[in-house]
Structure 1
Amino acid sequence: MTSAQGGFRGWFAERKGVWSRLRFTSLRLRLVVVFGLVALTAAVSASGIAYWLNREAVLTRAQDAVLRDFQQEMQNRAGVLPERPTQFELQRTADQMANGSQRFSVLLIAENPDGRTVSGSSGGLSGFTLKDVPESLREAVNEEQEVSSTNKYAYHLYWQRVVEDDTPYLVAGTKVIGGGPTGYMLKSLEPEAKDLNSLAWSLGIATGLALIGSALLAQAAATTVLKPVHRLGVAARRLGEGKLDTRLRVSGTDELADLSRTFNNAAEALEKRVADMAARDDSSRRFVADMSHELRTPLTAITAVTEVLEEELEAETGSMDPMIEPAVRLVVSETRRLNDLVENLMEVTRFDAGTARLVLDDVDVADQITACIDARAWLDAVDLDAERGIHARLDPRRLDVILANLIGNALKHGGSPVRVSVRDADDEVVIAVRDHGPGIPEDVLPHVFDRFYKASASRPRSEGSGLGLSIALENAHIHGGEITAANSPEGGAVFTLRLPQDASSLTREDEETKGSDEKGEA
C-alpha cells in the first residue's frame, strides 16, 4: 500500500511539475485566459447588477401591492367591525379580506364582548396563526407611539420577510385606526422567487455564453495576432540555422508589419555582413595558402643551404669561423622553425577549406605511441602505460601529429616525466598525456587550443608557433573525437584525447558529401 501511494504521489508530482512548467508558457493560452477573465468579470458584474436591480424591483412591486391591498382591506372591512367583535365576525371578515386580488392569508385578533381574546383566520383552524408571526413584528405592531405633528397615528403598519421550508413569505401587521382588531397578513412570495430564479438562470446562461463567445473571440484574436509572431519565430529560427536569405512577407501598417520590416532589414544587413566576412575570410585563407605555397620553394633552397652549414658545424675539422658560428646556428634553428610554421599553416588552410581527408588504417595504439616517442628520441622522458592489443581504425599520420603535439607540449611547458596512458572505453580509445609541471593557469585553460595563443604575453617569440594544439584538436575532430585540457589534482596538466575505435563512417560521409557536391556542380 505504501509503495502504491508513493508511486501515485510520484506520478502526481510529475504531472504537477509538467503542468507548472507548461502553464502560461503559451501566449495563445494567456490571451484566451485574459479574454476569458475579462469577459467573466464583466458578465458576472453585469448579471449581478441586473439581478439585484430586478430582484428589488420585483419584490418591491409585489410587496407594495400586497401591503397597499392589506391596508385598504383593514380600513374597509376590519374597520367597520364592532370594537368588541365576536369570533364569527372576525372569521367572516378574515375570509372576505383573503379573497381579495392579492390572495393573502389574514389573521384578525380582538376582544369579544365577554372580554376574552378571540381570533379569526382566513384558513380556519389549520390556516394562518399567531405562531406564524415573528415576535419582533408583533411587538412592533402592538407598540403604541406618541401622537405628534409628525406622527398622526399611534399605530402603524409593519412588515417583515421570512423564509420557511425554503419558501419566502411576506408578513405584515397593523391595528385599525381609531380602535378595533389587530390584523396580520401572510403572503407567499414563491411566484416572485421562481421568477427571480428563472432570471438568475437566464443571467447565468448569458454569462456562460458570453464566456464562450469571449473564448472564441480570444482564439480568433490570438490567431490573428500570433500568426505573424509565429512566422517571425520560424524566420528567426531559419536565420539562426544559417539561412540568411530568409525574409518575411510584409503587409499592413501596424506594429507587427513594422516588426517584420525591421526583421527583414536586420536579416539583409546580417546577410551582407556575413557575406563580406566570408569573402574576407576566403581571401585570407587564399592568401595564407598562396603564401605558404610560395614560401616552400625558397624554403627548400634555404633548407638545403642550412643543412650544408649544419654539416660544417658538426664537422670536426673546425673550418667554421668561431665568430660566425652562433649566427649559423641561429639561421639553422630559425629555418627549421620557419619550415614548421609553413607546414602548420598549410595544414590549417586545408582544415579551413574542408579539404583535409582521413587515410585510415588498422593500428595498434600502443605501437603507434611508441613509434611517435621513439622517432623524436623521447623514450627517456616519457613513461608509457599502454596495453598491447588495443586496436583502432584511424589515420596513423594524423594520430602521430596529435601525439607529437601533446607530448611535445607537455615536455616543453610541463615537467618530466610525462606519463602517457591508454585505455579502451565504450568503443573509444582514451589517451591521457600528463606532465609534472605547475599546471595550466585557470585563465589560460579556455584558450589553450586557440590559434597563435601564447600563455605568456611577455614571451611572444617562443619556440612554438601557437598552432600545434589547434592542429591537434582539428585532427581529433576530423576523426570524430575530442581533446580536453585540465589540471590534475596531483599536480601538472592533463590532456585527454578521445577517438572512436573505427572512423570508417566519417570517411563514408565525406565521400557521400563530396559526391553530392560534384553532382550539384554538374
Structure 2
Amino acid sequence: MTRPQDELRGWAAARKAILSGLRFTSLRLRLVVVFGLVALTAAVSASGIAYWLNREAVLTRTQDAVLRDFQQEMRNHASMLPVHPAQDELQRTAGQMANSSQRFSVLLVAQDPNGKTVVGNSELDTFTLEDVPKSLQKAVNKEQPLSSNNKSAYHLYWQRITDHDKPYLVGGARVIGGTTTGYMLKSLEPEAKDLNSLAWSLGIATGLALIGSALLAQAAATTVLKPVHRLGIAARRLGEGKLDTRLRVSGTDELADLSRTFNHTAEALEKRVADMSARDEASRRFVADMSHELRTPLTAITAVTEILEEELDAETGSVDPMIEPAVRLVVSETRRLNDLVENLMEVTRFDAGTARLVLDDVDIADQITACIDARAWLDAVDLDAERGITARLDPRRLDVILANLIGNALKHGGSPVRVSVRVEGEELVIEVQDHGPGIPGDVLPHVFDRFYKASASRPRSEGSGLGLSIALENAHIHGGEITAANAPKGGAVFTLRLPQDASELLTDDLRDGNGNGNENGPGNGHGSGNSTEDTAG
C-alpha cells in the first residue's frame, strides 16, 4: 500500500510538472484572461444597460397606451352608468370597454340599490376580483381630499403582477359620483417575448465580443511575445558562448529598442571577450615560451650542479668548506627552479587544452607503493589498500596526483600519513589523511588555487605553489575530482575520486594512445611532491 506521504509527494510532483508546462505560456494566458475580463465586463455592462433601457421603454410605452385607453373607456362608458347599476348593465358596459384598440379584459364592480355588490365581466371566469391585488383595490377606492393641487377625489392606479409565470398589467379607477369601480387586465406576454429575444441577442453579442477579445488578445500576445521569445533564445545562445548572436531589429517601438540594446550589449561583450582571450592567449604563450627558453640553460646549470653535488658528497673533500653552504644553496635552488619550469609547462598544456591521457591497466596498490618507494616515503606512509583493485588510468598522471597529495600531507601534517583505497560502484576513491592541525577555514577554499599562500608574510616556500592545482587538473582530465576537508579527530583529508575506466573520455583519434603531450611533465622523484606548503596548517 502507498503511504499518505508518498501520495502527497506524487501530487506535489504532478502539480509542479503541470505548472512548469504552463510556465512557457503564462504571459500569453494572462494577456488573454485580462483582455477577456475587460471585454466581458464592458460587454455585460453595455448589454445590461441596453436591456434595462429597452425594457423600461417597451413596458412604459405599452403601459401608457393601455392606461390611457382604459381611462378613456371609463369616461366614455362607465361614467354613463347609473349610480346603482344592475348586473346586466355592468356586463354590457364591460363588453363595450373591452372592444377598445388595446384589447384588455374589463371588470366592473358596483352596488345595486339594495347595497349588494354586483359584478360585470367582459370575460366570464377569466378576470375576477380575486385577480386584483388588495393594495390596488384599496388605493382605487380611497377618496382623496380635494385641494388646489388635487382636483379629483379618485385616481387611476396600476400595478404589474405575475400569474403562472406570465406578466400582466392591472389598472383600476372609480367613477366619480357613482359606486362603479372599473379594473382592467392586460397581458404583457408579447412584450416579455420581445424582451427575451432582446436578452438573447445581447447575450450572443456579449459572447461574440468575448471571442473577439480572445482573438485580439491572442494576436496582441503573439505580436508582443514573439520578439520576447526571440530575445530569450538569443540570450540562451549568448550564455552558451555563441557571442556572434544578434537579433533582427524592425520597427521603432520599445521592443525594437530592447533588441537594439541587446545587440549593442552582445557586440560589446564579444569584443571584451575577444580582447580578454587575446590577452590570455598571449599570457599563456609567454609562459610557454619562457618555460621552453629556460629549459636549455637549466639543463646546463643542472648538469653543473650535479657535478658540484657529487664533489660535495665525495670523500676527497675537494670543495672548500667556506663555500660549501653556497654550493648546496645553488644546488637546491637550481632543483627548485627546474621543478617550477616543469610545472609551468604542465600548466600551459592544461590551459591550452593539449594535455592528453595515455591509459593503461593499473594495480592501485602497486602504483601507490611505487610512488612512495621512489620518494623514500615508505616509513612515513601507512597504506590501506587491497591487492587486486585495478583501474584503467594514466599511470604517470596518477603518480603526479599521489606525489602531490602525499608530499603535501607529509610537509604540513607530519608522519605517519594514512592512504586508504576503496571502490564505490564504478568509482575509485583514494583518501590521504595526515595527523596535523588541519587546514584553517579561510584557507580551505583556496588550497587548489595556483600560487596561493596562506600568509602574506611567508610568500616563499620550498615548492612551486602549483602542485595541488596540477593534481586537480590531472584528476579532472580523468573525469574525477579532488576535495579537501578536515577530519573530525584532527588533520587534513584529501579525497581523490576517479572513474575505474577513463576510456570513454578519449576521443576516437586518441584511442591508439599516441595523443599524450605530457611525457615530460612533473612525475619524477622530486618534481611534484608538494605545492601548497603555506596553505595547509
Q: Is the pair's TM-score, using the shorter chain for normalization, greater than 0.5?
A: yes
| Deviates most, 423-432 or 182-191 | 182-191
Aligned-residue offset at 1:12: 5.9
Alignment partner of 1:119 is 2:119? yes
Secondary structure, aligned partner of 1:486: strand
Counterpart residue number, 2:206? 207
The match for 1:167 is: 166
Q: Which residue of 1 aligns with 2:31?
A: 31
Aligned residue identity for 2:495: T
Query: Is 2:83–2:177's contact at 8 Å kept on the other side of the alignment?
Result: no
In the alignment, the residues of structure 2 paired with residue 234 and residue 393 of structure 1 have an alpha-carbon distance, to the nearest angstrom, of 41
Give the match for residue 520 of structure 2.
none
State yes or no: 1:88 paired with 2:120. no
Deviations 1:18-62 (A, max 9, x none): 445555653222222222222112111211111111111112112
User: Which residue is 2:219 aligned to?
Assistant: 220
Alignment partner, residue 61 of structure 1: 61
| Contact residue 79 and residue 180 of structure 1 kept, 8 A | no
Aligned to 2:197: 198
Quote the offset at 1:322 in angstroms.
4.4
Structure 1 stretches of 5 or more lacking a match?
Answer: 516-522
2:150 match: secondary structure:
coil
Distance 1:291 1:247, change over 3 A: same
Instruction: Note the 1:395-434 alignment, pairs <5 A.
Output: 395-434=394-433
Amino acid at match of 2:101: S
* C-alpha separation in 2, matches of 1:171 and 1:21: 64
**Number of the residue aligned with 2:384:** 385
C-alpha separation between the residues in 2 aligned to 1:42 and 1:330? 94
Tell me the residue number matched to 2:273: 274
Contact kept? 2:84, 2:178, Cα under 8 Å = no
Shift of 1:300: 1.4
- The secondary structure found in structure 2 opposite 1:187 is strand
Shift of 1:321: 4.2
Shift of 1:450: 1.9
Determine the C-alpha separation between the residues in 2 that align with 1:230 and 1:114: 95
Q: Is 1:70 paired with 2:70?
A: yes
Q: Distance in 2 between matches of 1:205 and 1:19?
A: 34
Greater shift, 487-496 or 372-381, is seen at 487-496
Change (3 A) 1:416 1:68: farther
Q: Which residue number corresponds to residue 149 of structure 1?
A: 148
SS in 2 for 1:172: strand
The structure whose RCO (Cα within 8 Å, separation 6+) is larger is 2
Is 2:472 aligned against 1:473? yes
Instruction: Write the distance in 1 (CA, Å) between the matches of 2:60 and 2:313.
Output: 127
Offset at residue 150 of structure 1 (A) = 1.4
Return the alpha-carbon distance in structure 1 between the equivalents of residues 170 and 193 of structure 2: 19
| Aligned pairs (5 A) from 1:298-309 | 298-309=297-308
Contact 1:81 1:180 (8 Å CA) reproduced: no
In 2, the alpha carbon distance for the partners of 1:413 and 1:386 equals: 23
Q: Alpha-carbon deviation of 1:488?
A: 2.8
Q: Give the distance between the partners of 1:330 and 1:77, measured in 2 at CA.
A: 145
What residue in structure 1 maps to residue 342 of structure 2?
Answer: 343
Could you say what secondary structure the match of 2:473 adopts?
helix
Distance 1:23 1:362, change over 3 A: closer
Partner of 1:518: none
Q: Contact (CA 8 Å) 2:82, 2:178: kept in 1 or not?
A: no
Find the counterpart in structure 2 of residue 371 from structure 1. 370
SS at structure 2 position matched to 1:380: helix
The CA distance in 2 between the partners of 1:6 and 1:506, in whole Å, is 42
**Contact kept in structure 2, 1:95 and 1:122, CA below 8 Å:** yes
Matched with 1:242 is: 241
Identity %: 82
TM-score with structure 1 setting the length: 0.91
Alpha-carbon shift at residue 511 of structure 1 (Å): 3.5
TM-score by length of 2: 0.89
Measured in 1, the distance between the counterparts of 2:386 and 2:427 equals: 15
5+ residue gaps, structure 2: 515-537
Distance in structure 2 (CA, Å) of the matches to 1:160 and 1:10: 64
Secondary structure, counterpart of 1:480 in structure 2: coil
RMSD: 2.5
Q: C-alpha separation between the residues in 2 aligned to 1:10 and 1:82?
A: 92
Structure 1 distance, partners of 2:460, 2:5, is: 67
Structure 1 counterpart of 2:50: 50
Counterpart for residue 110 of structure 1: 110
Specify the code of the residue in structure 2 equivalent to 1:98. Answer: A
Judged with a 3 Å threshold, the aligned counterparts in structure 2 of structure 1 residues 3 and 244 are, in CA distance, closer, same or farther, namely closer
**Alignment partners' CA distance in 2, 1:505 and 1:289:** 29
Which residue matches 2:41? 41
